[in-house]
Amino acid sequence: MNNNPMQHLAVLMSEKLIAVAPQTAAQTLAALATHEVLLLVGGLKAQSLIAVLNPMDPPKAAAVLRRLPLKQACYVFTHLEVPQAARLWKEFATPYQERLKSVLPAAFVQLVQAANGFEPGSVGQVMRTDFVAVRTETKVAELINRLKNLPRKKLPRVCFVTGKNEELKGVISTVELAFFNPQVVCGSVMNKFQAVRPQDPVSALQTIFAQETLSVLPVVNEDGVLVGVVEKSALLVSPAKKTLWEKLKG
């Protein structure tokens, strides 16, 4: 626990700035020395770390991540936006890449290594790697208990069911879990799914979402292994913000 009041205050201020303006926080922190950044972000929650490292200049973000405890670094790394994770991977020296490979799922490492080749406008550019997956033999009660430990904001709309080699087998809508016998296995209550690949164009998803009742689609690699999810909201394009001059003219 941090017993330095001034440092504690600085961490709180950093967390507030990240919550309000992550891009500004990333630029501000990137201008500092790495050890100074660590003093300010070392006590942050994982979600704040992810939010500030996503828009940060890759060399500085990689330098910060390398100095975190390996378990914490792996969690943060696997929850970054895929394009940013790919940029950071290229910044890591081979010894550190090998350390990460010893802990991270092989499918995620392959995804990150291939991500630099994804075309603009592809699923790989907008997918998330934050999802809940269980094995076919997992009991519904175990899945429910796992979900109870998640913050309400992190509760997924769907959970995924995989086989022994992490290949995707089916999906379960989270709201349906309350209607199942807690002692049955997830493999017996899962539903069919339509998956997409990281290389698929985002433009093709509109038709798929129109045919599916789910607002989240699983993303699988060439071996059928679940590597991420893409949400329907990813298809929404935010209107460009007007400059101050444009606002004055309007």
pLDDT confidence of 3, banded at 50, 70, 90?
low
Q: To the nearest 10°, report the CA torsion of 45, 108, 86, 81.
A: -40
% of the chain surpassing 90 pLDDT: 58
Fold topology of 133-233? CBS-domain (3.10.580)
What are the φ/ψ torsions at residue 201 (nearest 5 degrees)?
-75, 140
Which residues, in sequence order, are bridge partners of residue 122? 201
Mean model confidence pLDDT for the chain: 86
- Dist. CA 52–CA 43, nearest whole Å: 13
DSSP label of 103: T
Q: Which two tokens stand for residue 109?
A: 């490492």
SS3 per-residue string spanning 29-58:
HHCCCHHHHHHHHCCCCHHHHHHHHCCCCH
DSSP tag of 180: S
Burial 109-121 (b: 16+ CB within 10 A, else e): bebbebbeebeee
Per-domain residue ranges for the chain? 5-104, 133-233
Q: Percent of the chain scored above 70 by pLDDT? A: 88
Q: Which pLDDT score is estimated for 7?
A: 54
Does 5-104 carry CATH code 3.10.450? no
Smallest CA-to-CA distance from 198 within 115, 130, 132, 105 is with: 115
- pLDDT(11) > 70: no
Q: What is the pLDDT of residues 135-174, one digit of tens each?
A: 999 999 999 999 998 877 778 989 999 999 999 999 999 9
Q: By the 8 A CB rule, do 220 and 227 touch?
A: yes
Same fold, 5-104 and 133-233: no
Instruction: Specify the pLDDT at position 247.
Output: 45
Please give the average per-residue pLDDT across 56-64, as a whole number.
Answer: 95
- Indicate yes or no: pTM above 0.75: yes
The reported pLDDT for the residue numbered 248 is 46
**Could you tell me which residue, 111 or 42, shows the higher pLDDT?**
111
What residues contact residue 71 under an 8 Å CB cut-off, 6+ apart?
Answer: 103
